[in-house]
Structure 1
Amino acid sequence: MPAALILLAAVLTFAVVRPRKWPEAVVAVPAAAVAVAIGAVTPQHAWTETKELLPVVGFLAAILLLAQLCADDGLFRAAGDAVARACHGSPTRMLGGVFAVAATVTAVLSLDATVVLLTPVVFATAARIGARPRPHVYASAHLANSASLLLPVSNLTNLLAFTASGLTFTRFAGLMTLPWLVAIGIEYAVFRRYFAADLATYAHEPKDEEAPGVPRFTLVVLGLTLAGFAVASFAGAEPLWAALAGAAVLGARSLARRRSTPRELLTAANLPFCLFVLALGIVVKAVVDNGLGDAIARVLPDGTSLAALLAIAGAAALLANLINNLPAVLALLPVVAPAGPGPVLAALIGVNVGPNLTYVGSLATLLWRRIVHAHGTEPELGEFTRLGLLTVPATLLGSTLALWASLAVLG
């Protein structure tokens, strides 16, 4: 296990630091090869893990491309303009608008879209009405994690949990709707109080500028893609195919209008990051097979009682902040999946909400930090941690209670 842990630590450290902005796969792929070469994971287990992850990684590439195409068509600019006009110069109303848009974008287009594509729009919208950007920008980071509970497509961790849970798309969404709403509500209440001074500052109505047009065709394709996720689930097909269909329609339209090139579309799919996820899965499999899986099984309680669900969610949050949420869910699922969908969804709450406590909890948070820095703002570690201490325990408790209630009502 020490050798496997060293490999995992090297992969995660490189992913956090990313010297010279090299892709994460630069270290992850050799680390996976070393894990197989030294016998930390057998070639058969490595290949099985890769086959299980391929549909998930394919979906990730498709949804990243779909989100970028939506941004290119002006969907995020239109959303920012709607928030600016609806808030009438009130930073408090703008916070509510940012929460609504960020929660929707995270749920439908994944947390990466919120971090990469919506955060710059939040900066621009705050500047447009003269509001302090701090509460709204921090909201995009928090909601990228905590608002990703709703759909199987909202987060890569969700896709992994969805596959292990045996639930249909609509069943998953039905069980996670109340936890999702509770998480957003707790975050909003804390943000209103924590950032009260920033929200009380003077702002102004947005200048009378020409509003960007709403990309109706893009919205229709996005709606049909979301419906396609549910249809594919009922048909026993992977959500990958619905995501590919939506990306193909918008991609072909963009190429026909010469707004994109094939190379740009390929870049938007971020294939190096997808390769990183596959390699990371093999490295985590090596760690799990060499003792971590047994250690987790000894610590986590059995059953689906409220106490068991709370313990699983708490342990998952802790593990996410120790080794990042993606390796955490890969390590947890083999242990909790045999107990049914309840423990799987409790673990998902932990690995999605828990990363709001530290920068290293999720790759999305690390990416958000880079984007904020590029806009001339340096988020303070102390403030990020204080805000996490105020939101994470309450959100974990509230969302897990809501999950327990949903399981009791819906079965």
Structure 2
Amino acid sequence: MAAWAVVPAGVFLTGTLVAAAADHRRVPPAAVAVPGALLVVAGALPVPAAVDRLREVAPTAGFLVVVLLLAALADREGLFRWAAAVTARRAGRSAGGLLWRVTLLATAVTAVLSLDATVVLLTPVVVATAARMRVPVAPHGMVVGHLANSASLLLPVSNLTNLLAVAATGLSFVHFTGLMALPQLAAVAVEYGLLRWLFRRDLRAVAGAPSPDGPAVPRLALAVVGLTVAGFVAASLADLPPVLPAVAGVLVLAVRQLATRRTRPAELLVAANLPFALFVLGLAVIVAALQRAGLGSLLTALLPGGASLSALLAAAGLAALLANLVNNLPATLALVPVAAAAGTPTVLAVLIGLNVGPNLTYAGSLANLLWRRVLGEHAPAAARFSSVGLVTVPLTLAAATAALWLALQI
């Protein structure tokens, strides 16, 4: 492909990211990404290459739709409200205790139901809980936002970036989880410690007494989510697609809610967020055009190979930098194929950079932009968000990458 082809692809990539950042109903990101992909294919990317990229990404986008739907159905069962109420009761009247328990809750939700569930469904519940207990919202909102990114390392289903990385490496669900358990633990521990120190003054506040009454235990939702996660492990061991247990979980909750008229088909369609899947597919084609125009060669030259600690740290740092320059989703689409050629350790180090790095700027991930919109008046200014990220990201990135290196030695 001629070098000039980078220009239209770059324009469409920029337009797509601007649309995602604006988050306007009249111009959704898919409305820019899909036409952009079609125009790129018409003038800059051979049709077979575009089809190959769509085949690679389509299963991941489809799985994301199912997980989003599962999280929304669990929310309708009251799972998040119940979890927040339990968290508040166990925190007593300690703002610091609430932060610790919110950290555990956000980590669990991010790992099992994806960072999208944490941002969209858990964030408003945590904010409401902090306000009801009369403690500062800032530290609790910030820890949820940060952990939506940095606590998404554990399972393939935790983040779209993970799904793309697993698809590129061929790692099983169990093998991936085993390798990323230590990085996940290191990232959450460092993130929590630093945020607790940064917000230490806010956490001196004495909380109001939590309400003794709370929502009923959502037994069905808890059972379905737990069995779905077990199903992911079983499917991996049986060499079956992980989407199967997720679909089963969706069917159980959807049939119940449709039968009791607690939801409608149209609401389920909205919860599935099909436009986001189209956005991902369109973006994948646009990035493929940029790779053929020379981006792939450039990243190959920049990305270090090998499994030494220094090489892994360099790979994670490059990924974090690229994520904050162009957003972590296009960065993933561009970096993962290059990293896969260098080996699985490089892919996992890149993944740490792509997941932890976005906590540096709002532009780092789509989750950040959505989190800011969900927080509304409680959202910190861009300068404040980045000042916190300057403290947390380098140390969290280094700790998680060192933990990955250690896990690879075991």
* Structure 2 residue 85 is matched with structure 1 residue 84: no
- Which residue matches 2:208? 204
SS at the partner of 2:157?
coil
**What's 1:301 paired with?**
304
Q: TM-score, normalised by structure 2?
A: 0.97
Task: Deviation per CA, 1:262-320: give whole Å up to 9, x if none.
Answer: 11111100001111111110001111111110000011112121111111100000010
Q: Counterparts in 2 of 1:99-248, with a 5 A limit?
A: 99-208=103-212, 210-248=213-251
Paired with 2:185 and 2:305, the residues of 1 have a C-alpha distance of: 27
Q: Is the 8 A contact 1:135 1:195 kept in 2?
A: yes
Q: SS in structure 2 opposite 1:206?
A: coil
Deviations 1:332-383 (A, max 9, x none): 111110232111110100000000000011001100000111xx32421121
Contact kept, 8 Å, 2:111 with 2:157, in 1: the verdict is yes
Are 1:3 and 2:8 an aligned pair?
yes
DSSP-derived class of the 1:355 partner: helix
Give ranges in structure 1 of 5+ residues lacking alignment.
Answer: none
Shift of 1:22: 3.3
Post-superposition offset of 1:19: 3.2
Corresponding residue number in structure 1 for 2:341:
338
- Give 2:278's aligned amino acid: L
1:277 counterpart letter in structure 2: V
Residue 23 of structure 2 corresponds to 18
Aligned to 1:396: 397
Q: Taking structure 1 as reference, are residues 345 and 235 closer, same or farther at Cα in structure 2, changes over 3 Å only?
A: same
| Residue 119 of structure 1, CA deviation | 0.5
Post-superposition offset of 1:207: 3.3
CA contact (8 A) 1:84 1:128 kept: no
Secondary structure, counterpart of 2:297 in structure 1: helix
Offset from partner CA, 1:19-47 (integer Å, 9 cap, x none): 34532101111100111111x21111111
TM-score by length of 1: 0.97
Match of 2:32 in 1: 27
CA contact (8 A) 2:319 2:351 kept: yes
Give me the whole-angstrom Cα distance separating, in 1, the residues matched to 2:26 and 2:133: 34
**Number of equivalences:** 405
Match of 2:58 in 1: 54
Q: Residues of 1 paired with 2:172 and 2:30: CA distance?
A: 32
> Distance between the aligned counterparts of 1:378 and 1:250, measured in 2?
33
Instruction: Give the Cα–Cα distance (whole angstroms) in 2 for the partners of residues 21 and 324 of structure 1.
Output: 22
- CA contact 1:161–1:333 (8 Å) conserved in 2: yes
Instruction: Tell me the residue number matched to 1:384.
Output: 385
After the TM superposition, list the runs of 4 or more consecutive aligned residues in structure 1 that deviate by more than 6 angstroms.
none
Return 5+ residue gaps in structure 2 as ranges: 1-5
Match of 1:322 in 2: 325
Cα distance between partner residues in 1 of 2:196 and 2:119:
21
CA RMSD of aligned residues (A): 1.0
Tell me how far 1:51 sits from its aligned partner.
1.2
Residue 3 of structure 2 corresponds to none
